[in-house]
Amino acid sequence: MDLTRRSFLKLAGATAAAATLTGVGLRKASASTDEPLRIKYTKEYFTVCTFCGVGCGVICNVRDGVIVNTEGDPDHPMNEGTLCPKGVAHYNVSYMFDEKGKPKPNPNRLTKPLRRKPGASDWEEMEWDEALEAIAKKFKETRDETFIEQENGVMVNRTDAINWLGSAFCNNEENYLFKKIISSSGIVNFDHCARL
Amino acid sequence: MIDYKNSDVLMNIGGNTAENHPITMKWIEKAREERGAKLICVDPRLTRTGAVADLYVPIRPGTNCAYLGGLTAYILDNNLYHEEYVKHYTNATYLVNEDFDFDNVTGLFSGVEDDPDRNAKAYDQSTWQYQTDEDGEILTDPDMQDENCVLQIMKRFYQAYSLENISEVTGCPIDTLEESYRLYASTGDPEKAGNMLYAMGITQFSHGTQSVRSVAVPQLLLGNIGRPGGGVNAQRGQSNVQGCCDMGILYHILTGYMPVPQRDAHPNLDAYNEAVPEGGYWVNRPNFMNSMLTAWWPEQSLDVAYQYLPKLDGTDRSHIGQYYRMGQGEVKGMICWADNPAVSGPTSGDKRKYQALLDWMVVVDLFENETAAFWKAPGMNPADIDTDVFLLPAAAAYERNGSKTNSSRWIQWQEKVQQAPGEAKSDLWIADKLFKAIRKEYEENGGVFPDPILNMNWDYGEEADSGKVAMEINGYRVADGQLLSSFGDLRDDGSTACGSWIYTGFYSDPDNPATKRRIAEKEGIGLNSEWTFAWPANRRIVYNRGAADPQGNPWNPEFPIFKWVDDQWEMMDVPDFNANIPPEESAESAFIMLPEGKGRLFANGHGGAGGTSNDSPMPIHYEPAESPVDNLLYPQATFNPISQRWYPVEEHFGEVEDYPYIISTYRVTEHYQSGIMTRNMPWLVETMPELFIELHPSLAEEKGIQNGDMVEIESKRGKIQARACVTSRIKPYNVNGNTIHVVGLPWHWGFMGMSQGDVTNDLAPSIGDPNSTIPEYKAFLCNVRRVG
Amino acid sequence: MANSICLIDPAKCMGCRGCQVACKQWNQLPAEQTTFTGTYENPPRFSADTWLRVAFREHDLEDGNVDWYMAKLGCMHCTDAACMQACPAGAIYRSDEGTVNIDEVKCIGCNYCVTACPFHVIGFDRLTNKARKCTFCHDRLVNGMEPSCAQACPTGAITFGDRRQLINRAATRMDQLKAAGNPNANIYGIDELDGTAMLYVLADNPEKYGLPADPQVPVQTRIWNAIFKPLRILVVVAVAFGLWANRAETKEIEQAKKGEK
């Protein structure tokens, strides 16, 4: 990945190139002003917007492992640096500004596996290992109790008692793993939000 | 979408591109600026798209098929169709069975029968089939004069869709209708390209498939499919809804749109592979199917691997059906991945109640969504709910690696930018660890038929690597692991493995995979062929034989994506046809995925392919299931007689006396789907802080409602509250002499997050289109009153 | 006058508010608590944390149709800038790039600029007692980047570029809008306040977009500027003292508020 200095120049260069194409001359940086750009010395990553299906390019500027700025990718042919309000607001998924303008993590992001036990009126935190084991046991129990191996003389390898919803939020690789899991364990109540 | 800049006329119907796909407006603006293109916006409500459109056409919610049927009639009556395209690339010349018939009183086609299992009707489609000679060759009339040819059948059928009738049905003034038809039909000129953009305002009806077909039919008549600036463009609402379908995340398909095996029809692999369509590209399906089985269970024989696959028993397993059977107590567990049906599903209040019947439930999300927190919903008592709920913290899009596929089928790689907060993990990590945990349970404790789980190929490393998964999806040669670059290389003998055949080539070079390419087009028509990889085979425009005439000359010399010169093709895109045969021959199968190779103006499921029109061969107007008016075109018809039902009609639907207003639901720019992300993003909450209802000043006055007042909205299925937005942008419609009011609500709110509100979909009915089972969110009935 | 300006073309604006959120994102401004008041326009006014707003204005027509206008509003960076004339502390200055900016160090929090601005775009931060407003993304500008609102805009409703060329473009667009049936199409920002760095080409009268028809520097500001400002050293001292007292009070109020929580 490019270091900030280069990426900043690249950004500036991209803007200048676009400007040249449309015949617009930008005023050069003033020598009298020594105003630093706040994305100086950040690492620049290219990513794809997480919202609608257009698939716009988004640049994330990262300093010390933390996003400090998100804006449209000028090199991306789909959006050419532009973005809608959701695309522009990516930063808010992780961070927000308090009333003094200081960044803080979005307090509503989930950071621990949670469980609400039957009848309980609140969540309790748990460890990943515990959560995965508990879910796997319940999964197996339900599957084994309701499994239909043969029907009408055909091997149908099916359970009707587990529903699984995949997601248009997940990547192709993630959804592909879902498909493999449900196909091997016999889940047929399987859909996602494209049906809605 | 960049291709929109090449259009001459764009019609946005059943969609709101400015609000829900804002960046596409960039390219529409470019078309307007550089080509003088016109944008027509057809919508019941003046949206932000309507505000910037050249022509705004208001129609009553639920009358898309009538409006577009009127366009078809206008094109046919005035001979405005693109004759050469229609003759060669569509089935207009084909002769249909002489017994095919339509009753314009009942609104039913020949072959109708009762379907008591579904409490609906169904069709025996034998009279819808083509006439054939003794050798099975389809009979045609190249002059399109035979009374049984498709074009003549359509002319008769669409007589009812006159300007006068359509104006009555839709409530749109005749002159506006005619102006929009004249403008759009101007793209029948061979050099012009018209572009239809739609989204859920077309699909979310109990006749959704007919609405989509009613978009496709005028596009075929005007010769607008398969060419730059043209097309039927379904604007995808989510960043990877396309890829999700490509990976088979729907109950009825495997990866790459291969059908899930049916118990009775496909008891074994031979039966499955013999059941391919009679012609078209799908005859190669066994190569793709057997490669998928090899990728999944490489150590087993193909037959055994096929036996492992679950088989369907004919029960509907779609979203509504799943929840319906949860309500019947048949479902014990549920895994819900980054999805929020307690807000997004129809009749969502019932859905939350059904979840209380589950033994266990797992939800994976970035935020605590309403589905996971259903036991906190208004009216729920947690002490009474025995469901064991797990809520797992997930990483956001830019906190994980992987590919996703946009509306243009571009498979774009997304980079991990930062660590997810706390112990949040990528979905890939969670899925991998979960499967390993399940497998461990079976390894250690045995269980019922564990073979498919234990034998499943699962080799992505200790911490799953998305690159390794991508290589399996791409496909490889089993003998040496060589990655494949074309699905033409796939074989049915177990020598090749491939997760999803349509993705072959997207990750064939592990060091520099096509999906990571970033070379934007400098000059050209916007295909951007070196930017990532577009499935299939990096083709940017599908069915692109349609871009040139039968002799191989581009319809519009400005866009020579294919040109036959000196006995060969000059090509700018990857051909979606056999480029090794003369153009006159490939012209005969321009629609290569269909057995007859022709765009279907008349859909009859010929040859076993594309049988997705169970309810009508030609797009037809039915009212929504809840409608304040009769079907003005067919006196004895009401709503789609074939539609998919789960609940008794008389209990589930309200009467117009109690619920006199049409309600339509939609989205706004500032929020996203069920809102669980954007309602937790302060900048977006600031711009759209609360749930609101849009209603006309005359209705507001009648009800004593002021701007900003709290309003109660009630349907047969639920009751919610929202703030009033009194606006002339949502007009009443004059239908058959009556004034009918329309109200509209976004559906982004729920009871969790930084911005909370009632769940609009509590009001929506659970009825489905008979082909896709999509619910009817866009037109149903309600009543409104001021609160307090 | 700025050499580089923005041309705002509301006929191309679809009200997506990419610019509004981009402004907050780049300038690190927190979100405000808002309510839905019956219009999409939100927040309802400019503030220390809201420097750019998109107007949503509906106009019923005689034929029963509706014009729904949207436009980006914010600091105009006027040549004849009322805020600069009103500021007693010399905190508001014109940069080398022609933009009008507030030096927060020099700002004494007197609020005079807030009341003087004919566009009501200056916000006042009660926590710091400073006036704040759009900077034209001056930090981006001097580093060769366009303002974040212009970069975000998907449809070309906000274009950043050379002033002369954008004025020519505005003239062409005005002709196009007139030809398309908008007899009132006009250019706004050439003559107004001797020229503004936010230039508009409007399809209809300025008021219909929430812009004042004839923006003026308030008379009292002119008098103040001409007569009293030469004595401003004295004034600054006096005002600063007054504010010091005021600030102490503000602090007390805040502490009281915290106490309530």
Could you tell me the CA-to-CA distances from B309 to A188, B254, B267, C39 in Å, in that order?
10, 10, 11, 53
**End of a domain among B389, B423, B451?**
B451
Query: In a 10 Å sphere around its CB, with 0-12 CB exposed, 13-18 middle and 19+ buried, how is residue A176 labelled?
Result: buried
* B704 and B775 in a common domain: yes
pLDDT at A7: 36
* Average pLDDT of every residue of chain A: 85
What integer is the mean pLDDT of C177-188? 96
pLDDT at B1: 84
What integer is the mean pLDDT of B143-167? 97
In whole angstroms, give the CA distance from residue A83 to residue A78. Answer: 10
What's the total number of domains in chain B? 4
Give the residue from B577, B573, B574, B413 showing the smallest Cα distance to B506. Answer: B413
* B649 and B570 in a common domain: no
Residue-range domain boundaries for chain C: 1-261
Residue C143 and residue A96: Cβ atoms within 8 Å? no
B97-148 confidence digits (pLDDT tens): 999 999 999 999 999 999 998 889 999 999 999 999 999 999 999 999 999 9
* B325 and B435 in a common domain: yes
Whether residue B724 lies inside any domain: the answer is yes
* B444 and B342 in a common domain: yes
In whole angstroms, give the CA distance from residue B371 to residue B362. Answer: 10
Whether residue B224 lies inside any domain: the answer is yes
Give the residue from B712, B721, B692, B702 showing the smallest Cα distance to B785. Answer: B712
Q: Mutate which of B3, B20, B23, B776 to disrupt the A interface (most A C-beta within 10 Å)?
A: B23
In whole angstroms, give the CA distance from residue B157 to residue B426. Answer: 53
Instruction: Check if the beta carbon of residue B507 is closer than 8 Å to that of residue B483.
Output: yes
Q: Which chains have at least 3 CB atom pairs separated by less than 8 Å from chain B?
A: A, C
pLDDT at B613: 82
* B779 and B679 in a common domain: yes
The sign of the dihedral angle between the CA atoms of A31, A36, A39, A43 is positive
Q: Mutate which of A44, A66, A88, A97 to disrupt the C interface (most C C-beta within 10 Å)?
A: A88
B731-750 confidence digits (pLDDT tens): 999 988 899 999 999 999 99
Residue B441 and residue A52: Cβ atoms within 8 Å? no
Tell me the residue type at C87.
C
Whether residue B252 lies inside any domain: the answer is no
Q: Does residue B632 register a pLDDT over 70?
A: yes
pLDDT at B610: 58
* B338 and B212 in a common domain: no
A82-110 confidence digits (pLDDT tens): 999 999 999 999 999 998 889 999 999 99
Cis peptide before B536 (omega within 30 of 0): yes
In whole angstroms, give the CA distance from residue B185 to residue A185. Answer: 52
Instruction: Check if the beta carbon of residue B747 is closer than 8 Å to that of residue A169.
Output: no
Whether residue B468 lies inside any domain: the answer is no
What integer is the mean pLDDT of B280-287? 94
* A138 and A84 in a common domain: no
- For chain C, how many residues are written? 261
* B600 and B655 in a common domain: no
- % chain B with pLDDT above 70: 99
Query: In a 10 Å sphere around its CB, with 0-12 CB exposed, 13-18 middle and 19+ buried, how is residue B695 labelled?
Result: buried
Question: Which residue in chain C has the smallest CA separation from B722?
Answer: C36
* B230 and B148 in a common domain: yes
Question: Which residue in chain B has the smallest CA separation from A186?
Answer: B310
| pTM (2 d.p.) | 0.94
- For chain A, how many residues are written? 196
Query: Which CATH code fits C1-261?
Result: 3.30.70.20
Domain that holds residue A131: 114-195
What integer is the mean pLDDT of C128-154? 96
Report the gap between the CA of A48 and the closest CA in chain C (Å).
15
C111-134 confidence digits (pLDDT tens): 999 999 999 999 999 989 999 999
A23-57 confidence digits (pLDDT tens): 222 333 343 456 789 999 999 999 999 999 999 99
Report the gap between the CA of C90 and the closest CA in chain B (Å).
33
Contacts of A91 in chain C (CB under 8 A): 25
Instruction: Check if the beta carbon of residue B436 is closer than 8 Å to that of residue B468.
Output: no
C183-197 confidence digits (pLDDT tens): 999 999 999 999 999
Q: What band does B279 get if pLDDT is binned at 50, 70 and 90?
A: confident
What integer is the mean pLDDT of A1-19? 35
* B663 and B601 in a common domain: no
- Which residues in B have their CB inside 8 Å of a CB on C? 18-19, 22-23, 25-26, 29, 33, 46, 48-52, 56, 668-670, 682-692, 707-708, 723-729, 731
pLDDT at A193: 86
C13-30: burial string, b at 16+ Cβ within 10 Å, e else = bbbbbbbbbbbbbbbebb
In whole angstroms, give the CA distance from residue C65 to residue C59. Answer: 9
Residue A179 and residue B400: Cβ atoms within 8 Å? no
Per DSSP, the three-state class of B611 is: coil
* A100 and A20 in a common domain: yes
Instruction: Check if the beta carbon of residue B12 is closer than 8 Å to that of residue B185.
Output: no
Helices B64-77 + B174-185 axis angle, to 10 = 60
Per DSSP, the three-state class of B96 is: strand
Question: Which residue in chain A has the smallest CA separation from C128?
Answer: A100
* B662 and B569 in a common domain: no
Per-range mean pLDDT, top range of A14-28, A136-150, B512-526: A136-150
Task: Closest CB to C140: pick one of A37, A74, A101.
Answer: A37
Contacts of A98 in chain C (CB under 8 A): 30
The sign of the dihedral angle between the CA atoms of B634, B639, B640, B642 is negative
**Which is more confidently placed, C77 or C2?**
C77
Q: Mutate which of B197, B235, B239, B348 to disrupt the A interface (most A C-beta within 10 Å)?
A: B239
pLDDT at C207: 97
Strands (E), chain C: 4-8, 52-60, 66-74, 92-94, 100-102, 123-125, 130-132, 158-162, 186-188, 198-202
**End of a domain among B556, B581, B608?**
B608
- % chain A with pLDDT above 90: 77
* A81 and A122 in a common domain: no
Could you tell me the CA-to-CA distances from B642 to B61, B113, B118, B647, C256 in Å, in that order?
20, 10, 9, 15, 67
Whether residue B390 lies inside any domain: the answer is yes
Would you give the DSSP letter of residue A30?
A: P
Question: Tokens standing for B697?
Answer: 């000043």
Whether residue B303 lies inside any domain: the answer is no
Q: What band does B390 get if pLDDT is binned at 50, 70 and 90?
A: very high
Q: Out of B17-21, B274-278, B291-295, C20-24, which region has the weakest mean confidence (pLDDT)?
A: B274-278
Would you give the DSSP letter of residue C137?
A: S
* A79 and A156 in a common domain: no
ipTM of the complex: 0.96
What integer is the mean pLDDT of C35-46? 97
* B344 and B211 in a common domain: no
What integer is the mean pLDDT of C216-220? 92
Question: Which residue in chain B has the smallest CA separation from C28?
Answer: B683
Residue B503 and residue A172: Cβ atoms within 8 Å? yes
Residues forming beta bridges with residue B333, ordered by sequence position:
A162, B360
Sorted by sequence, the CB contacts under 8 Å of residue B532 that are 6+ apart come out as B410, B411, B412, B413, B514, B515, B516, B517, B518
Whether residue B117 lies inside any domain: the answer is no
* B649 and B568 in a common domain: no
What integer is the mean pLDDT of B406-419? 95
Residue B531 and residue A77: Cβ atoms within 8 Å? yes
Residue A79 and residue B333: Cβ atoms within 8 Å? no
Per DSSP, the three-state class of B81 is: coil
Question: Tokens standing for C223?
Answer: 């008098």
Whether residue B502 lies inside any domain: the answer is no
Could you tell me the CA-to-CA distances from B396 to A172, B22, B242, B366 in Å, in that order?
15, 22, 19, 7
B274-295: burial string, b at 16+ Cβ within 10 Å, e else = eebbebbbbeebbbbbbbbbbb
pLDDT at C254: 65
Report the gap between the CA of A59 and the closest CA in chain B (Å).
10
Helices B64-77 + B163-170 axis angle, to 10 = 170
Q: Out of A4-18, B301-315, C187-201, which region has the weakest mean confidence (pLDDT)?
A: A4-18
What's the total number of domains in chain A? 2
CATH code, B683: 2.40.40.20
Residue A97 and residue C28: Cβ atoms within 8 Å? yes
Q: Does residue B207 register a pLDDT over 90?
A: yes
pLDDT at B174: 97
* A151 and A120 in a common domain: yes
Backbone angles phi, psi at A86, to 5 degrees: -70, -45
Report the gap between the CA of C54 and the closest CA in chain A (Å).
12
Domain that holds residue B355: 319-406+409-451
- For chain B, how many residues are written? 788
CATH code, A35: 2.20.25.90
A107 touches chain C (CB under 8 A): no
pLDDT at C64: 86
Per DSSP, the three-state class of B751 is: coil
CATH code, B331: 3.40.50.740
pLDDT at A23: 27
